Amino acid sequence: MVFNSVTFFVFLFITFLIYLKAAKHSVKSGNFILLSASYIFYGWWDWRFLLLIIISSLTDFIVGYELFKTDSARKRKLLLAASLIINLGMLFVFKYFNFFVDTFLAAFGNGENQSSLIRIILPVGISFYTFQTLSYTIDIYRRQLTPTKSFITFFTFVSFFPQLVAGPIERAGRLIPQFEKKFEFDYHQASSGLKLILWGLFKKVVIADQAAVLVNAVYQTPESYNGISLIIATLLFGFQIYCDFSGYSDIAIGTARLFGIELMTNFRTPYFASSIKDFWHRWHISLSTWFRDYVYIPLGGNRKSNFRKHLNILITFTLSGLWHGANITFVLWGFLHGFLYFVESIFSPLKFINKKAITFAGIISTYLAVNFLWIFFRAESWSQSKNIIGIIFNQQKGGSESIASLLSVSGILTEPARMLVFIFPFFIVAEILLNKNEFPRILETTPRFVRWSFYYLVLFAILFFGVLNSAPQFIYFQF
């Protein structure tokens, strides 16, 4: 079940009506409905993977309770180790087993028996809910959090369906108290939620899915295209992945608001960032802050020597790349972000007379650097990413095909052409406005006629320009 499907909206409508009635009865009843709905939502893909969420939830509920009531340093370390081994062990087996086996065989095997090996399927969203439940245990271990006594509340925290599959990755200290208070329907909160859902759906089905048609065509056979086409496809992928993932986050945040739950902001117009550091303060904020709090700071953060600080940054970024997927390209993507972060820190003391000029230059250079690194993120392999870069910089000869030829083809490929000509400029203007505030709040100050005209315009774009038939999955579902 995906957000950009009719099935989801039918499911959401039914769940909301049942929740309204149950939440009036008691907090526990409301949470039970949310928990049941979350398991139905997740089980829609494959009910067998529900067992993994239940094991992870049960482990950390018990560990959290035992951690809180014991003062024995040895026992506390053993309990934390148990949580880490069980949760990260499941993550490793299901996400990285195939990768390490293939790497080992490529290095030491003859490749003859690879087809007979067991291939483990990656459960949707395992990286997200694993990090979410781990933060609960670690915070209790650090004595920064008191465990909840209600297993229904905790299980709901781990599996809350709006953000279960692709975040935002929430902290227990922020989310659990919201599940423990009585639900009071708030019209303005629900209204802003619906507007965010509308905007997120627009970004996903109109921008991301239409751009994907062109991006996929080029990246499927990059050797057939010239350098300019590969540059355009890569820049389009930058908008595709942003609109796809931030669209998911908008729908998740908006859906949660219908149930009186406020999720954290996950994106703040990242392509307006003036540095790599600023970019990671705006992009996938819930993940970057998770790695900061649970990897970078425990490694020593910036409390050690200058060399150790930069090493800690490189390690953190490299691990965040590995988190994204079991492929050397993701590891390299993360490492290079960390390297650019390091380079920026060296030149940061430089001062220029014109602050606006250096800020503008920073935005342009950061945008180009981030989009260049998307090549490694999007490419299927290291060799493909190397070939693409070679064609772009004329170190390797590419084909004669161009994106212009794709836009002239009849059928579904005429839709991206319309999107690029009519919708994309509209989206860019909206992003400039959103650099200052959240989507629903911007429109609150406008006249009613302007506000509702905008809503209908977005709805029109979804219905007439959106990819609605196939309901493509969100990119981050694979992580």
Which residues does the annotation mark as catalytic?
324
Helix, strand, or coil (residue 336): helix
Q: Residue 225: beta bridge partners?
A: 401
Closest CA to 227 of 379, 417, 397: 397
Evaluate whether 113 touches 139 at the Cβ level (below 8 Å). no
Supply the DSSP symbol for 310: H
Beta bridge partners of 401: 225
List helix spans (H) across 109-205. 126-141, 151-159, 161-164, 172-179, 187-202
Positive or negative torsion for Cα 316, 264, 122, 206: negative
**CA 2/CA 30 separation, integer angstroms:** 23
Q: Tell me how far apart the alpha carbons of residues 175 and 196 are, in angstroms, rounded to a whole number.
A: 19
Q: Residue 213's closest CA among 407, 474, 425, 6?
A: 407
H-run or E-run covering 68: helix 50-69
Write the single-letter amino acid at 44: W
Question: What type of residue sits at position 303?
Answer: R
